[in-house]
Structure 1
Amino acid sequence: MSLTRREVARAVAATVGGATLAGTALGAPADAAAAQNGTATAYGPRVRHTGKGPTGYEVTFRFHAPGAKRVQLKGEWYFERPGELTERLTGPDHLVETQGLLPRQWKPGDVPASHPNSTSPIWPVVDMTKGPDGVWTYTTPLPGGVYTYGFFVDSDADDTTTTGQLPDPGNPAWNVTDGVVHGRAVDRSQIYVPSDPHFHAVDRSWQGPANGPRGKLRYVIYASPGHVTPADENYLVVYTPPGYDPHRAKPYPTLYLSHGGGEDEMGWSTQGDLANIMDNLIGQGEIAPMVVVMPNATGYASSTQELAHRTDLIERVFPWVEEHYNVSTSASDRAYTGLSAGGMRTVYLLLDNTEQFGYYGVMSAGLPPGTTFGAARVAALKEVSVYVGCGWQDPINPGFTLNGTALHRGPFRAVRDLTAAGVHVQSDFVDGGHEWHVWRILLKDFLTRVAFLPPTTASAAWGT
């Protein structure tokens, strides 16, 4: 169980004492980011190009805690080597066991993957070294990409621990200004590492800070009568693209982006690296500018197939967003996608509220058991664009059961069943497990191949 918003904020303040908490651009070396932004920076990560193997880059993580007896670092960097797996795909009779390679063992083609393979974030925990200045450090090579990490102070954390995890006060989330948290306090930070082509690393620059104009993130509280926690109100995070024009003649399309289990409205804008991904894809002309809405899908009264959340989304979130932003009110200009539990929300909307969106992206989820395809449902599904994606090694591929209840039958069966019903599906499966490395890639894929693009099926006859 994670700390509450208030507990995380208090813990960070107590740990860093009087240190200045200044925001740094995700993944930029802390000192360089401070110079660029004209701000003072607390102790934070340093990214250094070494030009040496195995990756060409190394990161030094720093945490100022002079009174601590032990500081540990947990980072999203176990790796797997797909080409050396005995089987590539997790199936009904085989769970892919990843190798648990450490960064110093990295080779081209390796990808982040929790170890042992699981739906939980199982990542290595290491002890940091204390310097005479009270700064604890740990240095490791890392290949290009975005990595999540957090600290544990005077605890005995292991690779499954999340309780007591602290973010990096020198590299806080976007919603922290001068040590004050606006919205939910998150218990982890992210770092972006560039790719060195000399070591045949995959170019992940689309996940790094954009060189050009950047969009903005905003934390929103809106009225939600009937919502339980908090009572009668709920949260959104909203991204507006670079150069957003509230008076533009053509309203913007809207992407609704849903978090997974154990996450909330902050998941995609932190671990998901949403703003950087959008800024880069928009800046490079790969996608059109759009508004992105990230709702909180937790805290509702229990309901079948998350009906309470779906009702709130359609009856309250849609009107609020359309009143406060220059977005289209047409379903054809709305897209919905989400990961894991958010993938199931996508499925529920796809099946039962098909008319609300023009584009649906299912990540790491499948169809509920017993799903049927009558003529009316098939006709409705043929009017929208459907995308399904997952990691090859994801344990949920055969389906997923929670507390003895089967929630879905897996993404592979979803592609098969939808296709068999006559519904065109675009799909993508990439090496990786149930983790953000996969979901960032799938988000990019959904946006560049499916969302707000014309259908890929041809209705015209091809002659005789």
Structure 2
Amino acid sequence: MDQTTPEHGAPIALPGECRRRGSRSPVTAPAGRNPCTAAARGPRLRLTATAGAFFLLAGGVAVVSPAAADDLVLGPQISHTGQAPTGYSVTFRIEDADATSMLIKGSWSFATTESVREDQQNTSPILPQDWTTGAFPLQSPNRPSENWPVATMTEESDGVWTYTVPLPGGVWDYQFYPDCTVGSISTCTAVTDPANPAWNTTDAGTTGSPAVFSQVYVPGDSAFGSQAPTWLAEDTDIAHGTLQDVSFTASYSSTGTDRMAVYTPPGYDPDREVPYPLIVMTHGGGEDEIAWSTRGRVQQIADNLIAAGEMQPAVIVMPSYSTSPTGYADAVVEEITPYALEHWNVSQDVAGRALTGNSAFGGATNEVLFENTSAFGYYGVWAPASGAPAVGVTGEDGAVTLNPAYTDPELPALLGLHIAVGSEDTGGDLRGSNVMIPTLTATTEREGLITAGVPFRYYEVPGGHTWAFWQQALHDFLTQTAFRTTTTEVSSSGGDLVAQVAAATAEPAVPTGTVQFIADGRPIGDPVPVQDGTATLTGSAADWSGTSVTARYEGDALYNSSTSDAARFTADPAALLEELSGRLERLRDAGEVTGRVGSLMSGHLSAAQRHLSHDRADLAAEQLRRFVERLDPHSRDGRVSPDADAQLRAAVEVVLTALQA
């Protein structure tokens, strides 16, 4: 059996959590032991001796065969069925002896690009049992709300309600509605899964805002094209960062305080010499500080990327602020960010600071971007509900007119700008039509930035106004934009070209990879490795002396590529003469220069080098002219092939130009 994939029919208990029927408390385990494993060995979860095997998969995920449990296990149980449509199913169980009925709502209605083309509002969604490869989560109707499927649960045992659904790989939100009917669900009170609490809830209570949805991760099955990206998983074999929920003084709040959830990376060191980059990450409208750390999967995404060497450690703060973005643009600059700068070991430099926001707070992030640009070095604007300055098209020639905000010189000076939207996102006010507001905002912003010549990354994949899409946007931001900018400078030293590659944000890791040197648009030799931020090209002075030179850094796993400004360099004539002598000898060894003519030409080069050492450039030039005269194809002293003739003449011209300089 493949150790990373459970046998068909085996339910996976959530890593880090197990609860038995009749218990309000999680099964706990000593440090380093999986609670589900501890549950199997102790009295809290009784297993029959003959029902089936209990075993542990790689990574500490406990698996129990369906017939093994004497007591029903509460919380989501993930089963690898190996059957269509997804290869996986999840069974949800909640205990509520007082309830006469139970509903479950989950983020598992779907659409495809093709189906949305015919049904933009997704009024006839693809349901889990009909899931197909390429289908993505999308509400029905398609708009910024929790318009997800609602199903009736079955009372499996006295007071235990159950529901099973096939699901593809991914992270799925769900919540329960006791004693409620489908038609009246908007008036009912939802509850999260007590057997699968959010990270900020323990037996002692909840710190900060309570989660409104519970989540379950399903790995998916590649045989059905349903596998989830590994960066979403809760990998027990890697180091983990820490989440905390803190209260801080906030003048903008009616209570005088606000809250923020804070992610510090694995091994966070408050005394680290190089401070950590800071990301201020804001939720969507109507949400709070817990949204990104639960529905957005921040900790898992950051932990996995850091472990994979695709991201350097960073501190991420997620403020609650308010359900409305009004006033946020001022608060994030004047109070929220300063609090983070004071209480964590983070960069005090704007180059080490990023601001992101989605949906309504994507619009608020736009407000900071266009009105207080230099407050942050990096921005992530995802599914913005507003905030894009106008872009117009006028006249018969279709001339584009821009709001002056796009031509602010601070915009192109940003270190990174990331705009993202799901291609099926109709979020925001539909204005009585099928106008796709976040898509319209994002595409307007894109066109304005392109027209103004502002560099940015535009990320658009199939998806809607959903956390499933925003998880992807965050992953792309962290692996393509945030704190990855570099600068490259090129200079000459004697007969060498030197490229200096530096990170724009102070980080412990220095850029690695290679640099390609380019002269007048032509690559010079092979890419040169970068060592300690420097790449040096030797032995090719004749190829670049007197030309327009650039150095292109190709990037690595942590840093993006960059290209130097073009510069014109003239190599040291002595170095050029040395290269010319070496070229001549190689041509002689290859039989391209034969007879006495090779020795005569070598003598002219030696004489030129002697004259140059005595600062007699005029006499050195005379020897080079005599060198060229030896290239006479009718010479009785030997033969020079046409190719060697062309090479040597071109090289002499480079030396003569350098001597004149």
TM interval, shorter chain, is: 0.7 to 0.9
User: Is it true that 1:115 corresponds to 2:134 in the alignment?
Assistant: no
Q: Which residue of 1 aligns with 2:309?
A: 285
Compute the displacement of 1:317 (Å).
2.1
Q: Which residue of 2 aligns with 1:325?
A: 344
Counterparts of 1:104 and 1:376, CA distance in 2:
47
Counterparts of 2:338 and 2:389, CA distance in 1:
33
Counterparts of 2:484 and 2:43, CA distance in 1:
41
Counterparts of 1:166 and 1:263, CA distance in 2:
16
Q: Is the 8 A contact 2:388 2:442 kept in 1?
A: no
Match of 1:19 among 11, 23, 30: 23
Compute the displacement of 1:457 (Å).
6.6
Counterparts of 1:340 and 1:33, CA distance in 2:
41
User: Is it true that 1:164 corresponds to 2:189 in the alignment?
Assistant: yes
Counterparts of 1:340 and 1:37, CA distance in 2:
46
Compute the displacement of 1:375 (Å).
8.2
Q: Which residue of 1 aligns with 2:211?
A: 186
CA pair 54-219 structure 1, distance change in 2 beyond 3 A: same
Structure 2 counterpart of 1:360, one-letter code: Y
Q: Is the 8 A contact 1:418 1:424 kept in 2?
A: yes
Match of 1:61 among 77, 84, 92: 92
The more displaced of 94-103 and 196-205 is 94-103
Look at both structures and tell me which one has the larger radius of gyration over its CA atoms: 2
CA pair 375-322 structure 1, distance change in 2 beyond 3 A: closer
Compute the displacement of 1:297 (Å).
2.6
Per-residue CA distance 1:284-306 (angstroms, 9 max, x = gap): 11111100000113178xxxx73
Structure 2 counterpart of 1:460, one-letter code: D
Structure 2 counterpart of 1:250, one-letter code: V
Q: Which residue of 1 aligns with 2:269?
A: 245
Per-residue CA distance 1:322-364 (angstroms, 9 max, x = gap): 2221111111101111110121121011111111111111100
CA pair 36-411 structure 1, distance change in 2 beyond 3 A: farther
Match of 1:343 among 362, 368, 375: 362
CA pair 360-293 structure 1, distance change in 2 beyond 3 A: same
Counterparts of 2:382 and 2:211, CA distance in 1:
23
Map 1:325-404 onto structure 2 (within 5 A): 325-365=344-384, 366-370=386-390, 373-374=403-404, 377-384=407-414, 385-396=416-427
Map 1:143-162 onto structure 2 (within 5 A): 143-157=168-182, 161=186
> Structure 1 regions of 5+ residues with no counterpart?
1-15, 25-29, 88-93
Match of 2:247 among 221, 230, 241: 221
Structure 2 counterpart of 1:238, one-letter code: V
Per-residue CA distance 1:36-79 (angstroms, 9 max, x = gap): 99996972111111112111111000010122110000000001
The more displaced of 375-384 and 119-128 is 375-384
Q: Which residue of 2 aligns with 1:3?
A: none
Q: Which residue of 1 aligns with 2:470?
A: 439
Map 1:98-113 onto structure 2 (within 5 A): 99-113=124-138
Counterparts of 1:33 and 1:294, CA distance in 2:
33
Q: Is the 8 A contact 1:98 1:113 kept in 2?
A: no
Counterparts of 2:459 and 2:27, CA distance in 1:
35
Q: Which residue of 2 aligns with 1:422?
A: 453
Match of 2:285 among 247, 261, 279: 261
Compute the displacement of 1:433 (Å).
1.0
CA pair 280-39 structure 1, distance change in 2 beyond 3 A: farther
Secondary structure (helix, strand or coil) at the match of 2:421 reads: strand
Counterparts of 2:81 and 2:370, CA distance in 1:
51
CA pair 208-161 structure 1, distance change in 2 beyond 3 A: farther
CA pair 132-376 structure 1, distance change in 2 beyond 3 A: closer
Q: Is the 8 A contact 2:27 2:35 kept in 1?
A: no
Q: Is the 8 A contact 1:125 1:158 kept in 2?
A: no
Per-residue CA distance 1:195-248 (angstroms, 9 max, x = gap): 2111122432211102311111100100012422xx111111000011111111
Structure 1 counterpart of 2:291, one-letter code: G
Structure 1 counterpart of 2:100, one-letter code: K
CA pair 17-284 structure 1, distance change in 2 beyond 3 A: closer
Structure 1 counterpart of 2:328, one-letter code: H
What percent of counterpart residues are identical?
A: 38
Q: Is the 8 A contact 2:389 2:406 kept in 1?
A: no
Counterparts of 1:17 and 1:145, CA distance in 2:
27
Compute the displacement of 1:451 (Å).
0.6
Map 1:37-116 onto structure 2 (within 5 A): 43-86=74-117, 95=120, 97=122, 99-116=124-141
Q: Is the 8 A contact 2:354 2:482 kept in 1?
A: yes
Per-residue CA distance 1:80-137 (angstroms, 9 max, x = gap): 12244436xxxxxx94536411111111111111112112121110000002332100
TM-score by length of 1: 0.84
Compute the displacement of 1:21 (Å).
3.3
Structure 2 counterpart of 1:182, one-letter code: T
The more displaced of 358-367 and 95-104 is 95-104
The more displaced of 136-145 and 425-434 is 425-434
Counterparts of 2:437 and 2:355, CA distance in 1:
20
Q: Is the 8 A contact 1:65 1:134 kept in 2?
A: yes
Secondary structure (helix, strand or coil) at the match of 2:446 reads: helix
Counterparts of 1:38 and 1:213, CA distance in 2:
27
Counterparts of 2:459 and 2:225, CA distance in 1:
23
Secondary structure (helix, strand or coil) at the match of 1:381 reads: coil
Map 1:307-326 onto structure 2 (within 5 A): 308-326=327-345
RMSD: 3.1
Q: Which residue of 1 aligns with 2:565?
A: 460
Counterparts of 2:27 and 2:361, CA distance in 1:
29
CA pair 222-64 structure 1, distance change in 2 beyond 3 A: same
> Structure 2 regions of 5+ residues with no counterpart?
1-19, 29-33, 46-72, 392-401, 487-560, 569-661
TM-score by length of 2: 0.60
Match of 1:129 among 145, 154, 160: 154
CA pair 22-101 structure 1, distance change in 2 beyond 3 A: same
Secondary structure (helix, strand or coil) at the match of 2:369 reads: helix
Counterparts of 2:41 and 2:565, CA distance in 1:
54
Structure 1 counterpart of 2:408, one-letter code: V
CA pair 140-18 structure 1, distance change in 2 beyond 3 A: closer
Q: Is the 8 A contact 1:23 1:176 kept in 2?
A: no
Compute the displacement of 1:443 (Å).
0.6
Counterparts of 2:133 and 2:323, CA distance in 1:
42
Counterparts of 2:260 and 2:41, CA distance in 1:
27
The more displaced of 34-43 and 240-249 is 34-43
Q: Is the 8 A contact 2:280 2:356 kept in 1?
A: yes
Q: Is the 8 A contact 2:287 2:323 kept in 1?
A: no
CA pair 377-115 structure 1, distance change in 2 beyond 3 A: same
Counterparts of 1:429 and 1:79, CA distance in 2:
18
CA pair 119-43 structure 1, distance change in 2 beyond 3 A: same
Q: Which residue of 1 aligns with 2:600?
A: none
